[in-house]
Protein backbone atom coordinates (compact mmCIF):
# COMPACT_ATOMS: atom_id res chain seq x y z
CA UNK A 1 0.00 0.00 0.00
CA UNK A 2 1.47 3.37 -0.87
CA UNK A 3 1.67 5.88 1.95
CA UNK A 4 -0.55 8.94 1.99
CA UNK A 5 1.46 12.03 1.05
CA UNK A 6 2.48 14.04 4.09
CA UNK A 7 -0.16 16.61 4.99
CA UNK A 8 0.46 20.33 5.08
CA UNK A 9 1.94 20.12 8.56
CA UNK A 10 5.71 20.41 8.95
CA UNK A 11 7.86 18.48 11.42
CA UNK A 12 8.29 14.73 11.64
CA UNK A 13 5.55 13.47 9.32
CA UNK A 14 5.94 9.89 8.24
CA UNK A 15 5.98 9.64 4.46
CA UNK A 16 6.60 5.91 4.04
CA UNK A 17 9.58 3.76 4.91
CA UNK A 18 10.52 2.59 8.38
CA UNK A 19 9.25 4.08 11.64
CA UNK A 20 11.32 3.76 14.79
CA UNK A 21 9.84 1.21 17.21
CA UNK A 22 9.51 1.87 20.93
CA UNK A 23 7.56 5.02 21.80
CA UNK A 24 6.50 6.14 25.25
CA UNK A 25 2.99 7.01 24.06
CA UNK A 26 0.97 6.22 20.93
CA UNK A 27 -2.11 8.40 20.41
CA UNK A 28 -4.64 7.03 17.93
CA UNK A 29 -6.60 9.89 16.39
CA UNK A 30 -5.56 13.53 16.07
CA UNK A 31 -8.98 14.93 16.87
CA UNK A 32 -9.88 16.98 19.92
CA UNK A 33 -8.93 14.41 22.55
CA UNK A 34 -5.84 13.10 20.74
CA UNK A 35 -4.34 16.53 20.13
CA UNK A 36 -5.06 17.89 23.60
CA UNK A 37 -3.63 14.76 25.19
CA UNK A 38 -0.51 14.93 23.01
CA UNK A 39 -0.02 18.54 24.07
CA UNK A 40 -0.59 17.74 27.74
CA UNK A 41 1.90 14.85 27.64
CA UNK A 42 4.50 17.08 25.98
CA UNK A 43 3.92 19.85 28.55
CA UNK A 44 4.25 17.44 31.49
CA UNK A 45 7.35 15.95 29.86
CA UNK A 46 8.87 19.47 29.78
CA UNK A 47 8.16 19.89 33.51
CA UNK A 48 9.57 16.54 34.45
CA UNK A 49 13.11 16.90 33.12
CA UNK A 50 14.74 13.53 32.40
CA UNK A 51 14.62 11.86 28.97
CA UNK A 52 12.20 13.48 26.54
CA UNK A 53 9.05 11.37 25.99
CA UNK A 54 8.67 10.01 22.45
CA UNK A 55 5.16 10.22 21.05
CA UNK A 56 3.54 8.58 18.05
CA UNK A 57 0.38 10.27 16.73
CA UNK A 58 -1.70 8.62 14.01
CA UNK A 59 -4.66 9.92 12.01
CA UNK A 60 -5.51 9.53 8.32
CA UNK A 61 -7.78 12.55 8.21
CA UNK A 62 -6.49 15.31 5.96
CA UNK A 63 -9.60 17.47 5.75
CA UNK A 64 -11.98 18.51 8.49
CA UNK A 65 -15.17 20.21 7.34
CA UNK A 66 -15.94 23.50 9.04
CA UNK A 67 -16.75 22.65 12.68
CA UNK A 68 -17.62 25.03 15.50
CA UNK A 69 -17.47 23.95 19.14
CA UNK A 70 -18.99 25.88 22.05
CA UNK A 71 -18.50 25.45 25.78
CA UNK A 72 -19.17 27.04 29.15
CA UNK A 73 -16.16 27.90 31.28
CA UNK A 74 -15.31 29.87 34.39
CA UNK A 75 -11.53 29.98 33.78
CA UNK A 76 -9.45 30.41 30.61
CA UNK A 77 -9.00 27.24 28.51
CA UNK A 78 -6.35 26.12 26.03
CA UNK A 79 -8.87 26.53 23.21
CA UNK A 80 -9.87 30.15 23.85
CA UNK A 81 -7.17 31.31 21.41
CA UNK A 82 -9.45 30.13 18.57
CA UNK A 83 -12.57 31.91 19.87
CA UNK A 84 -14.85 33.39 17.24
CA UNK A 85 -17.27 34.64 19.86
CA UNK A 86 -17.59 34.75 23.64
CA UNK A 87 -20.66 35.86 25.58
CA UNK A 88 -21.44 36.75 29.18
CA UNK A 89 -25.21 36.24 28.73
CA UNK A 90 -27.36 33.44 27.38
CA UNK A 91 -30.88 33.45 25.97
CA UNK A 92 -33.43 30.69 26.27
CA UNK A 93 -36.55 30.98 24.10
CA UNK A 94 -39.62 29.00 25.11
CA UNK A 95 -42.15 27.30 22.83
CA UNK A 96 -44.30 30.45 22.82
CA UNK A 97 -41.37 32.61 21.63
CA UNK A 98 -40.71 34.35 24.96
CA UNK A 99 -37.03 35.13 25.40
CA UNK A 100 -35.38 34.74 28.82
CA UNK A 101 -31.93 36.30 29.18
CA UNK A 102 -29.55 35.26 31.95
CA UNK A 103 -26.25 36.93 32.84
CA UNK A 104 -23.56 34.28 33.39
CA UNK A 105 -21.79 35.86 36.37
CA UNK A 106 -18.25 34.49 36.49
CA UNK A 107 -18.86 32.21 33.54
CA UNK A 108 -18.63 32.71 29.79
CA UNK A 109 -19.98 30.81 26.82
CA UNK A 110 -17.33 30.63 24.10
CA UNK A 111 -17.43 29.35 20.52
CA UNK A 112 -14.26 28.32 18.68
CA UNK A 113 -13.37 27.54 15.10
CA UNK A 114 -12.35 23.92 15.66
CA UNK A 115 -11.21 23.49 12.05
CA UNK A 116 -8.59 26.24 12.49
CA UNK A 117 -7.69 25.06 16.00
CA UNK A 118 -7.16 21.49 14.82
CA UNK A 119 -4.87 22.61 11.96
CA UNK A 120 -2.81 24.81 14.30
CA UNK A 121 -2.59 22.26 17.11
CA UNK A 122 -1.60 19.51 14.69
CA UNK A 123 1.11 21.70 13.14
CA UNK A 124 2.34 22.64 16.62
CA UNK A 125 2.66 19.11 18.00
CA UNK A 126 4.10 17.70 14.78
CA UNK A 127 6.75 20.44 14.77
CA UNK A 128 7.83 19.21 18.21
CA UNK A 129 10.87 16.96 17.75
CA UNK A 130 9.45 14.42 20.23
CA UNK A 131 6.41 13.62 18.03
CA UNK A 132 6.21 11.38 14.97
CA UNK A 133 2.99 11.88 13.03
CA UNK A 134 1.76 9.07 10.81
CA UNK A 135 -1.13 10.09 8.51
CA UNK A 136 -2.45 6.54 8.28
CA UNK A 137 -5.38 4.68 9.90
CA UNK A 138 -4.68 2.29 12.74
CA UNK A 139 -6.47 -0.98 12.06
CA UNK A 140 -5.58 -2.88 15.24
CA UNK A 141 -4.26 -2.36 18.74
CA UNK A 142 -2.59 -5.15 20.69
CA UNK A 143 -2.33 -5.03 24.46
CA UNK A 144 0.63 -6.48 26.34
CA UNK A 145 2.18 -6.70 29.78
CA UNK A 146 5.22 -4.53 29.08
CA UNK A 147 3.99 -2.52 26.09
CA UNK A 148 1.10 -2.27 23.64
CA UNK A 149 1.29 -1.98 19.87
CA UNK A 150 -0.60 -0.26 17.08
CA UNK A 151 -0.83 -1.59 13.55
CA UNK A 152 -0.89 0.50 10.40
CA UNK A 153 0.01 -0.64 6.88
CA UNK A 154 0.59 -4.18 8.17
CA UNK A 155 3.34 -3.14 10.57
CA UNK A 156 3.25 -3.17 14.36
CA UNK A 157 4.78 -0.30 16.33
CA UNK A 158 5.18 -0.56 20.10
CA UNK A 159 4.54 2.02 22.79
CA UNK A 160 4.44 1.89 26.58
CA UNK A 161 0.91 3.34 26.53
CA UNK A 162 -1.69 3.53 23.80
CA UNK A 163 -4.62 6.01 23.81
CA UNK A 164 -7.52 5.19 21.50
CA UNK A 165 -10.00 7.84 20.31
CA UNK A 166 -11.57 5.69 17.57
CA UNK A 167 -15.28 5.40 18.27
CA UNK A 168 -16.01 1.68 18.63
CA UNK A 169 -18.06 0.04 15.91
CA UNK A 170 -20.91 -0.59 15.50
CA UNK A 171 -21.94 3.04 15.83
CA UNK A 172 -24.85 3.76 18.20
CA UNK A 173 -28.00 2.05 16.98
CA UNK A 174 -31.59 3.23 17.07
CA UNK A 175 -31.80 1.68 20.55
CA UNK A 176 -29.70 4.61 21.82
CA UNK A 177 -30.52 8.27 21.78
CA UNK A 178 -28.77 10.34 19.21
CA UNK A 179 -28.40 14.04 18.67
CA UNK A 180 -28.54 15.20 15.07
CA UNK A 181 -27.34 18.70 14.14
CA UNK A 182 -27.63 20.85 11.08
CA UNK A 183 -26.38 24.42 11.13
CA UNK A 184 -26.17 27.35 8.75
CA UNK A 185 -23.65 30.17 8.81
CA UNK A 186 -25.77 33.10 7.72
CA UNK A 187 -24.88 36.68 6.81
CA UNK A 188 -27.02 39.75 6.35
CA UNK A 189 -26.49 43.12 4.65
CA UNK A 190 -27.77 45.07 7.68
CA UNK A 191 -26.77 45.11 11.32
CA UNK A 192 -29.65 43.04 12.66
CA UNK A 193 -28.12 40.26 14.75
CA UNK A 194 -28.07 40.76 18.53
CA UNK A 195 -24.50 39.95 19.61
CA UNK A 196 -25.06 40.57 23.32
CA UNK A 197 -26.08 36.99 24.07
CA UNK A 198 -25.80 33.55 22.53
CA UNK A 199 -29.05 31.62 22.32
CA UNK A 200 -28.48 28.28 23.97
CA UNK A 201 -31.98 26.85 23.54
CA UNK A 202 -34.70 28.10 21.18
CA UNK A 203 -37.82 25.93 21.29
CA UNK A 204 -39.99 28.35 19.34
CA UNK A 205 -38.89 27.23 15.89
CA UNK A 206 -39.45 23.49 16.07
CA UNK A 207 -42.81 21.75 16.06
CA UNK A 208 -41.76 18.10 15.92
CA UNK A 209 -42.89 15.35 18.29
CA UNK A 210 -39.34 14.42 19.29
CA UNK A 211 -37.23 16.85 21.27
CA UNK A 212 -35.88 19.60 19.03
CA UNK A 213 -34.42 23.05 19.48
CA UNK A 214 -32.03 25.51 17.89
CA UNK A 215 -29.07 27.42 19.22
CA UNK A 216 -27.48 30.55 17.79
CA UNK A 217 -23.96 31.89 18.02
CA UNK A 218 -24.07 35.53 16.88
CA UNK A 219 -20.45 36.36 15.99
CA UNK A 220 -21.15 39.84 14.55
CA UNK A 221 -24.07 42.16 13.91
CA UNK A 222 -24.23 40.61 10.42
CA UNK A 223 -23.37 36.95 10.93
CA UNK A 224 -24.28 33.98 13.07
CA UNK A 225 -24.18 30.22 13.19
CA UNK A 226 -27.71 28.93 13.69
CA UNK A 227 -27.80 25.23 14.54
CA UNK A 228 -30.91 23.08 14.72
CA UNK A 229 -30.73 20.01 16.93
CA UNK A 230 -33.05 17.01 17.18
CA UNK A 231 -32.75 14.28 19.79
CA UNK A 232 -34.35 10.87 19.51
CA UNK A 233 -33.69 7.23 18.72
CA UNK A 234 -33.38 7.87 14.99
CA UNK A 235 -33.74 11.65 14.75
CA UNK A 236 -34.49 13.37 11.44
CA UNK A 237 -32.00 15.94 10.23
CA UNK A 238 -33.48 19.14 11.69
CA UNK A 239 -34.21 22.34 9.78
CA UNK A 240 -32.48 25.50 11.06
CA UNK A 241 -34.29 27.92 8.72
CA UNK A 242 -37.16 28.92 11.10
CA UNK A 243 -34.58 29.73 13.80
CA UNK A 244 -32.51 31.74 11.31
CA UNK A 245 -35.52 33.96 10.61
CA UNK A 246 -35.78 34.72 14.31
CA UNK A 247 -32.06 35.51 14.65
CA UNK A 248 -32.07 37.96 11.72
CA UNK A 249 -35.37 39.52 12.82
CA UNK A 250 -37.08 38.72 9.52
CA UNK A 251 -34.41 40.52 7.40
CA UNK A 252 -32.95 39.08 4.21
CA UNK A 253 -30.06 36.65 4.76
CA UNK A 254 -27.91 34.21 2.85
CA UNK A 255 -26.08 31.04 3.79
CA UNK A 256 -22.31 30.99 3.36
CA UNK A 257 -21.47 27.63 5.01
CA UNK A 258 -23.11 24.62 6.61
CA UNK A 259 -22.15 22.36 9.50
CA UNK A 260 -23.72 19.08 10.48
CA UNK A 261 -23.10 15.93 12.49
CA UNK A 262 -24.46 13.35 14.91
CA UNK A 263 -23.45 12.37 18.44
CA UNK A 264 -24.62 9.37 20.44
CA UNK A 265 -26.07 10.11 23.89
CA UNK A 266 -25.40 7.03 25.97
CA UNK A 267 -25.42 6.93 29.75
CA UNK A 268 -24.03 3.40 30.11
CA UNK A 269 -20.59 3.66 31.64
CA UNK A 270 -18.06 2.85 28.95
CA UNK A 271 -15.05 0.89 30.02
CA UNK A 272 -12.16 3.25 29.51
CA UNK A 273 -9.43 0.84 30.35
CA UNK A 274 -9.18 -1.31 27.26
CA UNK A 275 -6.25 -3.40 28.49
CA UNK A 276 -3.18 -3.30 30.68
CA UNK A 277 -1.69 -0.56 28.54
CA UNK A 278 -4.57 0.86 26.51
CA UNK A 279 -6.92 3.70 27.49
CA UNK A 280 -9.96 4.99 25.56
CA UNK A 281 -10.09 8.78 25.30
CA UNK A 282 -12.54 11.41 24.00
CA UNK A 283 -15.97 10.24 22.85
CA UNK A 284 -14.65 6.66 22.88
CA UNK A 285 -13.70 7.18 26.54
CA UNK A 286 -17.22 8.31 27.50
CA UNK A 287 -16.33 12.01 27.67
CA UNK A 288 -19.55 13.25 26.00
CA UNK A 289 -21.89 14.29 28.80
CA UNK A 290 -24.95 12.26 27.76
CA UNK A 291 -27.54 14.71 29.03
CA UNK A 292 -26.06 17.66 27.11
CA UNK A 293 -23.95 16.34 24.23
CA UNK A 294 -21.13 18.65 25.39
CA UNK A 295 -17.63 17.20 25.70
CA UNK A 296 -15.05 19.93 25.10
CA UNK A 297 -14.32 20.97 28.69
CA UNK A 298 -14.49 17.35 29.86
CA UNK A 299 -11.89 16.41 27.25
CA UNK A 300 -9.64 19.31 28.28
CA UNK A 301 -9.82 18.20 31.94
CA UNK A 302 -9.34 14.55 30.99
CA UNK A 303 -6.19 15.28 28.97
CA UNK A 304 -4.65 17.08 31.94
CA UNK A 305 -5.68 14.29 34.32
CA UNK A 306 -4.14 11.59 32.09
CA UNK A 307 -0.86 13.49 31.76
CA UNK A 308 -0.80 14.12 35.52
CA UNK A 309 -1.38 10.41 36.19
CA UNK A 310 1.53 9.50 33.91
CA UNK A 311 3.76 12.02 35.65
CA UNK A 312 2.81 11.03 39.19
CA UNK A 313 2.21 7.28 38.91
CA UNK A 314 3.98 6.19 35.73
CA UNK A 315 0.66 5.04 34.20
CA UNK A 316 -2.38 6.87 32.75
CA UNK A 317 -5.17 5.17 34.71
CA UNK A 318 -5.45 7.24 37.90
CA UNK A 319 -8.40 9.28 36.66
CA UNK A 320 -11.22 10.79 38.70
CA UNK A 321 -14.50 8.91 38.10
CA UNK A 322 -17.57 10.86 37.04
CA UNK A 323 -19.57 11.84 40.15
CA UNK A 324 -22.25 9.31 41.05
CA UNK A 325 -25.00 11.92 41.23
CA UNK A 326 -24.17 12.94 37.68
CA UNK A 327 -24.39 9.42 36.26
CA UNK A 328 -27.70 8.79 38.05
CA UNK A 329 -29.28 12.08 36.99
CA UNK A 330 -28.01 11.77 33.42
CA UNK A 331 -29.57 8.35 33.19
CA UNK A 332 -32.94 9.64 34.45
CA UNK A 333 -32.71 12.66 32.13
CA UNK A 334 -32.07 10.47 29.08
CA UNK A 335 -34.93 8.16 30.00
CA UNK A 336 -37.21 11.18 30.31
CA UNK A 337 -36.05 12.50 26.92
CA UNK A 338 -36.72 9.11 25.33
CA UNK A 339 -40.19 8.73 26.82
CA UNK A 340 -41.45 12.33 26.83
CA UNK A 341 -39.93 13.65 23.58
CA UNK A 342 -41.03 17.21 22.88
CA UNK A 343 -43.05 17.08 26.13
CA UNK A 344 -39.78 17.65 27.98
CA UNK A 345 -39.13 21.04 26.38
CA UNK A 346 -40.58 23.03 29.33
CA UNK A 347 -38.10 21.28 31.63
CA UNK A 348 -35.15 22.70 29.69
CA UNK A 349 -36.63 26.18 30.00
CA UNK A 350 -37.34 25.66 33.72
CA UNK A 351 -33.75 24.64 34.23
CA UNK A 352 -32.40 27.94 32.93
CA UNK A 353 -35.12 30.19 34.30
CA UNK A 354 -35.88 28.58 37.66
CA UNK A 355 -32.40 28.13 39.13
CA UNK A 356 -29.47 30.56 39.47
CA UNK A 357 -27.52 30.32 36.23
CA UNK A 358 -24.17 29.66 37.91
CA UNK A 359 -25.71 26.67 39.74
CA UNK A 360 -27.04 25.40 36.42
CA UNK A 361 -23.65 25.76 34.73
CA UNK A 362 -21.81 23.99 37.56
CA UNK A 363 -24.46 21.28 37.31
CA UNK A 364 -24.00 20.92 33.56
CA UNK A 365 -20.22 20.83 33.97
CA UNK A 366 -20.47 18.05 36.58
CA UNK A 367 -19.08 20.40 39.24
CA UNK A 368 -22.29 20.96 41.21
CA UNK A 369 -22.10 21.47 44.95
CA UNK A 370 -24.92 20.05 47.10
CA UNK A 371 -26.65 23.47 47.14
CA UNK A 372 -26.51 23.63 43.33
CA UNK A 373 -28.11 20.20 43.06
CA UNK A 374 -30.93 21.24 45.37
CA UNK A 375 -31.54 24.43 43.39
CA UNK A 376 -31.57 22.59 40.07
CA UNK A 377 -33.85 19.81 41.27
CA UNK A 378 -36.19 22.37 42.86
CA UNK A 379 -36.42 24.28 39.55
CA UNK A 380 -37.72 21.28 37.62
CA UNK A 381 -41.30 19.98 37.56
CA UNK A 382 -40.82 16.50 38.98
CA UNK A 383 -43.43 14.62 36.89
CA UNK A 384 -41.39 13.50 33.85
CA UNK A 385 -38.34 12.63 35.94
CA UNK A 386 -40.23 10.70 38.61
CA UNK A 387 -41.99 8.75 35.84
CA UNK A 388 -38.65 8.07 34.12
CA UNK A 389 -36.98 7.01 37.39
CA UNK A 390 -39.87 4.77 38.51
CA UNK A 391 -40.83 3.14 35.25
CA UNK A 392 -37.28 2.56 34.07
CA UNK A 393 -38.60 2.98 30.52
CA UNK A 394 -36.11 1.53 28.07
CA UNK A 395 -34.08 4.27 26.41
Ligand X SMILES: Cc1cc2nc3c(=O)[nH]c(=O)nc-3n(C[C@H](O)[C@H](O)[C@H](O)COP(=O)(O)OP(=O)(O)OC[C@H]3O[C@@H](n4cnc5c(N)ncnc54)[C@H](O)[C@@H]3O)c2cc1C
Q: Between 105 and 261, name the residue whose CB sits nearer to ligand X.
A: 261
Handedness of CA 335, 338, 340, 343 (dihedral sign): positive
Element (H, E) at 141: strand 140-142
**290 touches ligand X (CB under 6 A):** no
**72 touches ligand X (CB under 6 A):** no
DSSP string across 38-85: HHHHHHHHHHH-SSPP-EEEE---------EEEEEESS--TTGGGEEE
Q: Between 165 and 223, name the residue whose CB sits nearer to ligand X.
A: 165
End-to-end CA distance of the chain: 43
**316 touches ligand X (CB under 6 A):** no
Q: Which segment (62-70, 198-206, 307-315, 359-367) binds ligand X by CB under 6 A?
A: 62-70
Q: Between 240 and 384, name the residue whose CB sits nearer to ligand X.
A: 240
Beta bridge partners of residue 131, listed in sequence order = 55
Pick from 188, 199, 263, 303: which binds ligand X (CB under 6 A)? 263
Number of residues near ligand X (by CB under 6 A): 29
CB 45, min distance to ligand X, A: 21
Pick from 14, 71, 185, 385: which binds ligand X (CB under 6 A)? 71
Q: Which segment (57-65, 314-322, 346-354, 381-389) binds ligand X by CB under 6 A?
A: 57-65
Pick from 38, 110, 165, 188: which binds ligand X (CB under 6 A)? 165
Please state, as a whole number, how many other Cβ atoms lie within 10 Å of the Cβ of residue 175. Answer: 10
Q: Which of residues 108-137 bind ligand X (CB under 6 A)?
A: 137
Compute the distance between CA of residue 285 and CA of residue 294 in angstroms, rounded to an integer.
14
The bridge status of strand 254-265 relative to strand 223-232 is unpaired
Compute the distance between CA of residue 234 and CA of residue 84 in angstroms, rounded to an integer.
32
**33 touches ligand X (CB under 6 A):** yes
DSSP string across 322-334: PPHHHHHHHHHHH
**278 touches ligand X (CB under 6 A):** no
- What is the Cα Rg of the chain in Å? 22
Pick from 294, 333, 348, 363: which binds ligand X (CB under 6 A)? 294
**225 touches ligand X (CB under 6 A):** no
**283 touches ligand X (CB under 6 A):** yes
**275 touches ligand X (CB under 6 A):** no
Pick from 181, 253, 333, 352: which binds ligand X (CB under 6 A)? 181
Compute the distance between CA of residue 191 and CA of residue 221 in angstroms, rounded to an integer.
5
Compute the distance between CA of residue 299 and CA of residue 305 in angstroms, rounded to an integer.
10
User: Which residue ranges make up the site for ligand X (CB under 6 A)?
Assistant: 28-34, 58-61, 67, 69-71, 137-138, 165-166, 181, 261, 263, 282-283, 288, 294-296, 299
Amino acid sequence: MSPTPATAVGGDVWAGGSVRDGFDHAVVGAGLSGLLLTRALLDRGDEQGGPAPRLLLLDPRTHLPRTTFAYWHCAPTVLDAWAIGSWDSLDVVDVGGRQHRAALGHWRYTAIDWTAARADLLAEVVADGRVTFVPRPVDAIRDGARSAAVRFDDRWTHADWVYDSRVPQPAPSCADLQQSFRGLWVVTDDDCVDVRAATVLDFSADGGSTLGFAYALPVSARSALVMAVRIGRCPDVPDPVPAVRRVVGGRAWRTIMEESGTTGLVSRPSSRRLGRRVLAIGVAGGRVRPSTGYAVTRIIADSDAIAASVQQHGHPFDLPPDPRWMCTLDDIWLRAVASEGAGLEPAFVELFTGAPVESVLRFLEGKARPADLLRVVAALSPGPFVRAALHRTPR
